[in-house]
């Protein structure tokens, strides 16, 4: 039976070493409550449960955290394991403590059933996102450290699974937070269960060579100390053997045995000032032979986790290489305790606001060095919310899905698979039925209810979902699945096009005509053609254009009438049969009124340099000056037919096309389409074909008002991954 008062006094003594300002009466109150609530529980070691929260509180104090964090550490398992409520903790100890305890509890509830490599980063990010207050994650790391220290009492399966989590989640987090000492201990303790044989081999080797190592380290330390005294530099010198996991990793990476391993030893010289650091470096290089290429100056260039030191590797008299790290006491604190060493709201020390923001700016950078988000609004209080634009949730099988913040079950369903989204009939969040517009939170477990008889997405979903992925997939569904609607729409457009050619739409029902159309356009059924036109896979204009010659021949209509129609406008608009120069957007010099049409070969748009060619009977055809067909200007036989033309000020929409060369990759067409949608540019045709060499050519026809807009489109498309070249199209 442990004497409680003794336990409390021992804890207070160790807390006081690191947190002299800690509020003893609040800590005593928390200790008493935790002890009372956990009274019926014992640790697997057989000890009373209170041993665990006390140990966690001591680690947290050692990290340098404040009274609130120490109190929260004592209570950290109360919400989960006992009949204690959030409100009770909030009333007794304040909301800051209650929120921390709740945060730790949430992290405890996270299940790691899927430990695939790619999941790890997401899980680590989720941890960060869930621990709005960074003290939460520090308490959680302390909790894990104590559990790893007492892991020998657990069953073998649990030893392995907890060690995996430790290696994959907690040690990297400790590293990212700059907490070297804790990281090392977590790694060594995890390795002990993950590769017991290797762990034991290394341990045995180190034990066998213990005396040797000791003698070697003493010799080096004595030499260094003597030199420091001679030159009058105040310093503390420590020698150590590198931690077991780092030896293990080096052996694996370099395929070497223990005795072949390069530098097992590390020495640390801690001094008062930065100039002293460089002085010490000079003396070490004077005493020992330097190993080239191993000197690193992390003082002038700190590591991303703020670690600072000078590193050098030298060879001692016996030919044994060893590393020396030289740093100031401040740097030493940072190296040992990382983010916690920079914790400025220690009790009794009023924190300076500006200073605090700087600290948290640092925390932010350290936690997520890859993400280049704007810094300013992120850290205004004692919160870490760099992942505010993302939310991390689980599938029922434990896979982590990352979604834009504010996402709903619809986004989740489409992120899992479009088939899941399309057959969704409801959703459960944390085992409770949730509406389609439910906002997902970090750590939620989301289950999508599906049915084979589901009617598919509703158009409302487009307004509810937050992710582009879901939006695109829902739109795709409407294209593909709404066949009847598409067929009807496509049929109407085709008929409209035919009417424009003065043809009776009923010719579509004539067998001969139908066969020509299907053959030319490569469709099996007329309905398939209509569907393609209906969802925008092909414009009715384009379709009719390709078949009109043969149909006109068959039906003996007047081709002139058809040719006179300006080619720039798509089918849906009803067009006058001829247009004056003003309406066409082009002024033809010396010819006040004439018919104008835009050449199909170079699809000019306002801003392009253009010339006109007087055709035989169809007015003036406008080409870009650089069009191959305009090179005939120099032909003396034709020179009289070329006229100067210019753009009228008010243009309207002009159809043009681009040829896009790219790598042939999945999703390219979708990315192109998305870009065009984002630019609000109306696309009339988008077709892509793969070439044998792994590249693809995409023809994109769309409407712009001028060359400026065209350039904007081009530069946006050029930014798309895999696009290698873009140039103006040369017509179909
Ligand atoms: Mn615990």
Statement to judge: residues 54 and 166 lie in one domain = yes
Ligand 1 midpoint to CA 53 (Å)? 7
DSSP structure class, residue 577: S
* Axis-axis angle for helices 134-149, 156-165 (nearest 10): 150
Least confident of 123-127, 466-470, 517-521, 557-561: 557-561
Q: Which domain holds residue 509?
A: 482-571
CATH number of the domain bearing residue 688: 3.30.70.260
Same domain, 636 and 605: yes
User: Are 474 and 512 in the same domain?
Assistant: no
Whole-prediction pTM: 0.54
What separation in Å is there between the alpha carbon of 385 and the centre of ligand 1? 24
The DSSP symbol for 351 reads P
In a domain, 381, yes or no: no
Tokens of 23: 């509020």
- With a pLDDT cut of 70, the percent of the chain lying above it is 81
Residue 358 predicted with pLDDT over 60:
no
- 502-505: long-range contacts at Cβ-Cβ below 8 A with a sequence spacing of 24 or more? 502/557, 502/558, 502/561, 502/562, 503/551, 503/552, 503/555, 503/557
- What's the pLDDT tens digit per position in 115-156? 565 566 666 666 666 666 778 888 999 999 999 999 999 999
Sequence-separated (6 or more) residues with CB below 8 Å from residue 596: 566, 579, 581, 584, 586, 588, 612, 619, 620, 621, 622, 645
444 Cα to the center of ligand 1, angstroms: 21
Distance CA(371)–CA(404), nearest Å, equals 15
Q: Coil, strand, or helix at residue 37?
A: helix
Domain termination residue (choose one: 340, 366, 400): 340
Residue 586 resides in a domain: yes
- Tell me the CA–centroid distance for residue 76 and ligand 1, in Å: 6
pLDDT at 376: 27
Q: Which two tokens stand for residue 427?
A: 């959703």
> For residue 60, which of 14, 102, 24, 7 has the smallest C-alpha distance?
14
Q: Which of 307-316, 553-562, 568-577 has the lowest average pLDDT?
A: 568-577
Give the C-alpha separation, 621 to 643, whole Å.
10
Please identify every residue annotated as catalytic: 80-81
Structural element, H or E, at residue 657: strand 654-663
CATH number for position 27: 1.10.3210.10
Both 550 and 594 in a single domain? no
- Residue 382 domain-assigned? no
First to last CA, the chain: 90
**C-beta of residue 720 within 8 angstroms of C-beta of residue 668:** yes
Judgement on whether residues 266 and 277 belong to the same structural domain of the protein:
yes
Q: Is residue 138 part of a domain?
A: yes
Compute the distance from residue 139 Cα to the ligand 1 centre, in Å. Answer: 9
| Residue 208: half-sphere exposure toward Cβ, Cα within 13 Å | 8
The dihedrals phi and psi of 289, each to the nearest 5 degrees, come to -75, 135
CA distance 700 to 684: 8
User: In angstroms, what is the span from residue 24 Cα to ligand 1's centroid?
Assistant: 22
Q: Are residues 46 and 102 in the same domain?
A: yes
| Alpha-carbon gap, residue 623 to 643, rounded angstroms | 11
Higher pLDDT, 372 or 92: 92
- Ligand 1 centre to CA of 147 (Å) is 7
Q: Give distance in angstroms: CA of 55 to centre of ligand 1.
A: 10
Torsion sign, CA atoms 244, 245, 251, 254: negative
The kind and range of the H/E element at 662 are strand 654-663
Q: How confident is the model at residue 650 (pLDDT cuts 50, 70, 90)?
A: low
Q: How far is the CA of 49 from the centre of ligand 1 (A)?
A: 10
Residue 607: which region, alpha, beta or left (left: phi > 0; alpha: psi -120 to 50)? left
Q: How far apart are alpha carbons 307 and 301 in whole angstroms? A: 9
Tell me the Cα Rg of the chain: 37
Q: pLDDT band at 343, cuts 50/70/90?
A: low
């Amino acid at each position: 039976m442990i004497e409680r008062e003794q336990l409390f006094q021992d804890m207070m003594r160790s807390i006081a070493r690191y947190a002299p300002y800690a509020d003893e009466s609040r800590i005593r109150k928390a200790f008493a409550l935790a002890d009372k609530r956990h009274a019926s529980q014992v640790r697997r070691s057989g000890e009373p449960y209170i041993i665990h929260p006390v140990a966690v509180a001591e680690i947290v104090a050692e990290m340098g955290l404040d009274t609130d964090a120490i109190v929260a550490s004592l209570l950290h398992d109360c919400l989960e394991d006992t009949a204690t409520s959030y409100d009770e903790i909030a009333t007794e100890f304040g909301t800051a403590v209650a929120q921390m305890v709740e945060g730790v509890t949430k992290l405890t509830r996270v299940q790691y059933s899927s430990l695939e490599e790619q999941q790890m980063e997401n899980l680590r990010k989720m941890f960060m996102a869930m621990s709005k207050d960074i003290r939460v994650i520090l308490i959680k790391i302390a909790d894990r450290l104590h559990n790893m220290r007492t892991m020998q009492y657990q069953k073998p399966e649990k030893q392995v699974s907890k060690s995996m989590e430790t290696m994959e989640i907690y040690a990297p987090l400790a590293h990212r937070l700059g907490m070297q000492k804790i990281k090392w201990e977590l790694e060594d303790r995890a390795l002990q269960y993950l590769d017991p044989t290797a762990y034991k081999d290394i341990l045995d080797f180190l034990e066998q060579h213990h005396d040797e190592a000791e003698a070697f380290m003493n010799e080096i330390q004595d030499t260094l100390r003597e030199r420091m005294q001679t030159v009058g530099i105040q310093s503390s010198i420590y020698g150590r053997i590198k931690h077991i996991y780092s030896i293990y990793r080096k052996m694996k990476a370099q395929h070497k045995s223990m005795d072949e391993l390069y530098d097992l030893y590390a020495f640390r010289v801690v001094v008062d000032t930065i100039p002293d650091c460089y002085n010490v470096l000079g003396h070490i290089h004077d005493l020992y032979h330097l190993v080239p290429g191993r000197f690193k100056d992390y003082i002038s260039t700190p590591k991303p986790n703020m670690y600072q030191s000078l590193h050098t590797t030298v060879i001692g008299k016996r030919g044994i290489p060893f590393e020396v790290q030289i740093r100031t006491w401040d740097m030493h604190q940072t190296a040992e305790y990382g983010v916690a060493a920079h914790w400025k709201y220690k009790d009794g020390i009023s924190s300076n606001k500006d200073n605090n923001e700087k600290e948290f700016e640092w925390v932010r950078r350290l936690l997520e060095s890859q993400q280049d988000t704007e810094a300013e609004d992120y850290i205004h209080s004692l919160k870490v919310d760099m992942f505010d634009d993302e939310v991390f949730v689980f599938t029922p099988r434990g896979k982590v899905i990352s979604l834009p913040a504010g996402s709903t079950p619809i986004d989740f369903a489409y992120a899992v698979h479009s088939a899941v989204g399309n057959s969704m009939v409801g959703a459960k969040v944390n085992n409770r039925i949730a509406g389609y517009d439910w906002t997902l939170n970090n750590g939620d477990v989301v289950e999508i209810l599906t049915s084979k008889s589901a009617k598919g997405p509703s158009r409302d979903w487009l307004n509810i979902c937050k992710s582009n992925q879901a939006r695109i997939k829902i739109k795709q569904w409407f294209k593909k699945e709404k066949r009847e609607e598409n067929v009807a729409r496509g049929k109407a457009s085709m008929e409209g096009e035919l009417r424009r050619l003065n043809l009776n739409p009923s010719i579509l029902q004539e067998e001969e005509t139908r066969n020509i159309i299907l053959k030319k356009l490569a469709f099996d059924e007329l309905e398939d053609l209509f569907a393609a036109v209906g969802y925008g896979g092909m414009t009715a204009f384009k379709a009719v254009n390709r078949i009109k010659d043969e149909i006109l021949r068959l039906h003996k209509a007047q081709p002139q009438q058809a040719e006179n129609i300006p080619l720039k406008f798509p089918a849906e608009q009803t067009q006058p049969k001829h247009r004056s120069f003003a309406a066409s957007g082009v002024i033809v010099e010396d010819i006040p009124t004439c018919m104008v049409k835009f050449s199909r070969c170079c699809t000019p748009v306002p801003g392009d340099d253009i010339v006109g060619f007087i055709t035989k009977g169809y007015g003036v055809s406008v080409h870009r000056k650089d069009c191959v067909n305009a090179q005939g200007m120099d032909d003396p036989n034709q020179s009289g037919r070329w006229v100067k033309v210019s753009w009228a000020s008010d243009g309207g929409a002009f159809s043009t096309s681009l040829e896009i060369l790219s790598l042939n990759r999945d999703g390219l067409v979708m990315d192109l389409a998305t870009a065009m949608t984002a630019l609000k540019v109306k696309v009339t045709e988008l077709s892509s074909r793969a070439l044998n060499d792994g590249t693809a050519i995409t023809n994109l026809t769309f409407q712009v008002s001028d060359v400026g807009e065209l350039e904007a489109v081009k530069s946006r498309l050029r930014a798309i991954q895999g696009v290698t070249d873009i140039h103006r199209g040369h017509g179909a």
